Amino acid sequence: MIFFYRFPVVVWLAPTIILASASFAATKSHVIAFGNWTTVQWIPGPVNDKPLPMKVRPLLVDGRIKEHTFGLPHEVTERLFVIRRAFRVNDSLPEESSAPRWQWQRGGWLLVDRVTARISPIALPDFDAFYSAASWYRDYVAYCGVSDDGKKVYAVVAQISRRKPVLKKTLAGESIPDDAPADSACAAPTWQRIPARVTFEPAAGTKQAFAIRGHMVDFVADDEEDEEASK
């Protein structure tokens, strides 16, 4: 009687324990937060060795530092946000002492998932961590991209869910000299909500506006802008 009575109990409890453990693992939440701001020094250009102050703060997941960031985050959805990365690189030359010479640098953009706590870099075509100033709207980002040799500047609109840019247009007459300051490819583009439109203002060129329709981009002529403004 004792054996027969206990055996079904063990059999029925085992699936219950397994289901409870699986439910706990599925509902486990993560705490994502930012730490305190700290002022560090960074080198503002390839030919400029005079450091400038930059405020950085750690990105924490469950109380542990995962990345360092600067600037403010952009909320894409209730679940996702993007933030610029900051990191340290060893600037020591081979003939110098073995002690690392750490130097702060500005990195690209990170996508952070609040539910899974996953932090992943966003691949932005021709985005230059030094020269490009980005402007976000929803899951779109607009910026002036720079070619590898610095001789071409592009108007770029990218979307997080797409590998190829939604827009990539050469800005005629634009180039990046070696002594150009940070974020100097062009001013951060400006967005308009209805209709969805982004405007680029290159330093040496004329203002150009583009309408965003789904995954398509249409150039907006100056007379169309004047017509919209008069309504």
Q: pLDDT (tens digit, 9 = 90+) per residue, 56-98?
A: 999 999 999 999 999 999 999 999 999 999 999 998 888 887 7
pTM of the model: 0.80
Instruction: Find out whether the peptide bond into 195 is cis, omega within 30 degrees of 0.
Output: yes
Residue bearing the bigger pLDDT, 34 or 184: 34
Write the CA distances from 157 to 54, 170, 199, integer angstroms: 27, 12, 11
CA atoms within 13 A on the CB side of 162: 14
Query: Each residue of 121-131: pLDDT tens digit?
Result: 999 999 999 99
Q: How far is CA 156 from the centre of its chain?
A: 14
Q: Contacts by 198-202 with C-beta closer than 8 Å and gap 24+?
A: 198/135, 198/137, 198/140, 198/142, 198/157, 200/142, 200/144, 200/155, 200/171, 202/144, 202/153, 202/155, 202/171, 202/173, 202/174
124 in Cβ contact with 111 (< 8 Å): no
50 versus 124: the higher-pLDDT residue is: 124
Average pLDDT (137-158) is: 93
Least confident of 52-66, 166-180, 198-212: 166-180
How would you classify the pairing of strands 167-170 and 190-192? unpaired
pLDDT per residue over 102-125, tens digit each? 999 999 999 999 999 999 999 999
Backbone angles phi, psi at 3, to 5 degrees: -60, -45
Contact residues for 171 (Cβ-Cβ < 8 A; gap 6+): 144, 153, 154, 155, 186, 200, 202, 205, 208
Tokens of 75: 């909320």
Taking the C-alpha atoms of residue 137 and residue 145, their distance in angstroms, rounded to an integer, is: 17
Spatial contact of 138 and 160, defined as CB atoms under 8 Å apart:
no
pLDDT band of 10, cuts 50, 70, 90: very low
Enumerate the domain spans of the chain: 30-122, 123-231
Q: Does the pLDDT value for residue 29 go beyond 90?
A: no
Least confident of 40-54, 117-131, 143-157: 40-54
